Amino acid sequence: MDLLIENARLVTMQNGEQGYLPTPLARVGIQSGKIVAISTCANGEDSQQVEALLSAKQYPQTIDLQGKMMMPGLIDSHTHLIYAGNRANEFEMRLNGVPYQDIAKQGGGILSTVNATRAATQEQLVELALPRLDGLLASGVTSIEVKSGYGLTRQDEIKMLRAAKALEQERKVKITTTLLAAHALPPEYNDRSDDYITHVCETIIPLVAEEKLATSVDVFCESIGFNLAQTQRVFEAAKQHGLNVKGHTEQLSNLGGTALTAQYNGLSADHIEYLDEAGVIALSKSATIATLLPGAFYFLRESQLPPIELLRKHQVPMAIATDINPGTSPFADLTLMMNMACTLFRLTPQEALRGVTQHAAQALGYGDSRGVIAVGFDADFSIWDIEHPADLSYQIGAKRLLGRIVNGDYVSHKGL
């Protein structure tokens, strides 16, 4: 339904400092899910074309925000939202001094999630994901990337991707899917990692591309994951089948995965705690976004900080995401990640907000349609009862979200 929004203080997140500052009271016209006109007191509302588009008579629905703040819908650009099983017991065991190796021997760790996910039906995976999804939506999220990676067979990876896509039928949200079959080595391929990568490249990727179940392919390029040569094989296969690439890179060591991701024009390189200046320069020469995942850094009690100053020096855009997963980042609140990025990584609140709007959209390949408020972009907003954009990074837990607009459809979270 077409919609007219009145009396909104807009935080457009367009380039520059001005995009971070709330506008005077504005009117926004939405038709067919797109922004068709924006008018504020600042521009004098002197354009007849703008006024014609904003004529209330053309809009079957009008919402008066009464001076509340509206900004782009928040975007969580890195999640593992679909999985089965619960690893809270492992969390408790670790805090009681049980080594991870012993937990793994008892059937814990990532393989416990793999076994539980394989045993679950697609419908069960959807039901299990909904509470986590609702947590993200309550923090202002309108767009979410969801990875596979806990199936590790063709059948189960496909099941995960289909479950992720089914979430759009359950909630007002945009879901972007990513194949992460190269997440861990499944037990069936123990000591045969090259054979598994062949299976991913020759069997799983072609089917995912044919059935249009994902737009990107990701790889965990790490000493406990897959090496650089194996990562390159996956990237080659993805490109051959018309899929974008992304990388879990430099989380635990510096293998050069970020530079490789940039070489293949990847959408994003994620984690990057151990990234060096050569890797940052590689990012700066590409359109690849650096994605920070402070939840995993916090939960694992890491000490190696991502190279924030180098990223700033070389003007590499930074996205922020939850990395929500059962083992290393069990957090379903993107504003909490903004706070962590500021307190742990020393980002500014403006950098944090860009990291979950403009730069997060770029990390998912739709920087020309989401992440900022501008004519021609998707009508995708979050509406807040706050005084300043920095409030989103500053205070956690208070119920400040009033509503979301997804593809032009309004969803109330608190009422206006």
**Strand-strand pairing, 74-76 and 69-72:** unpaired
Tell whether 49 and 81 lie within a shared domain.
no
Residue 262: CATH number of its domain: 3.20.20.140
| Confidence (pTM) | 0.96
Helix (H, G, I), strand (E, B) or coil at 125: helix
Query: How sure is the predictor about 48, in pLDDT bands with cuts at 50, 70 and 90?
Result: low
Tell whether 81 and 8 lie within a shared domain.
no
Question: CA-CA distance, 177 to 159, in Å (whole number)?
Answer: 12
User: Which of 265, 266, 249 lies closest to 257 in space, CA to CA?
Assistant: 249
Tell whether 29 and 158 lie within a shared domain.
no
Enumerate the β-bridge partners of residue 63: 5
Once rounded to an integer, what is the mean pLDDT over residues 34-63?
74
Question: CA-CA distance, 271 to 413, in Å (whole number)?
Answer: 31
Query: How sure is the predictor about 7, in pLDDT bands with cuts at 50, 70 and 90?
Result: very high
Tell whether 67 and 158 lie within a shared domain.
no
Residue 414 confidence (pLDDT): 79
Sort 364 into a burial class: Cβ within 10 Å, 0-12 / 13-18 / 19+: buried
Tell whether 189 and 40 lie within a shared domain.
no
User: Which of 398, 416, 408 lies closest to 138 in space, CA to CA?
Assistant: 398
* Dihedral in degrees, nearest 10, Cα atoms 204, 209, 210, 212: 120
Query: Is the confidence at residue 100, as pLDDT, over 90?
Result: no
Tell whether 39 and 167 lie within a shared domain.
no
In terms of residue numbers, what domain contains 256? 74-363
Query: Is the confidence at residue 383, as pLDDT, over 90?
Result: yes
Query: How sure is the predictor about 46, in pLDDT bands with cuts at 50, 70 and 90?
Result: very low
Tell whether 232 and 288 lie within a shared domain.
yes
Q: Provide the domain count of the chain.
A: 2
Tokens for 139, please give them: 């923090």
Residue 272 confidence (pLDDT): 98
Residue 28: CATH number of its domain: 2.30.40.10
Tell whether 378 and 357 lie within a shared domain.
no
Tell whether 295 and 155 lie within a shared domain.
yes
Tell whether 397 and 310 lie within a shared domain.
no
Helix axes 154-166, 110-119, angle to 10 degrees: 80
Tell whether 229 and 141 lie within a shared domain.
yes
- Which amino acid is present at 382? S
Question: Beta-carbon neighbour count of residue 123 at 10 Å?
Answer: 10
* Dihedral in degrees, nearest 10, Cα atoms 373, 379, 381, 383: 100
User: Which of 251, 255, 286 lies closest to 268 in space, CA to CA?
Assistant: 286
Query: Is the confidence at residue 350, as pLDDT, over 90?
Result: yes
Tell whether 89 and 180 lie within a shared domain.
yes
Query: Is the confidence at residue 340, as pLDDT, over 70?
Result: yes
Tokens for 298, please give them: 């916090």
138-162 tens-digit pLDDT: 999 999 999 999 999 999 999 999 9
Query: How sure is the predictor about 49, in pLDDT bands with cuts at 50, 70 and 90?
Result: low
Helix (H, G, I), strand (E, B) or coil at 269: strand
User: Which of 132, 141, 136, 138 lies closest to 84 in space, CA to CA?
Assistant: 132
Query: Is the confidence at residue 73, as pLDDT, over 50?
Result: yes
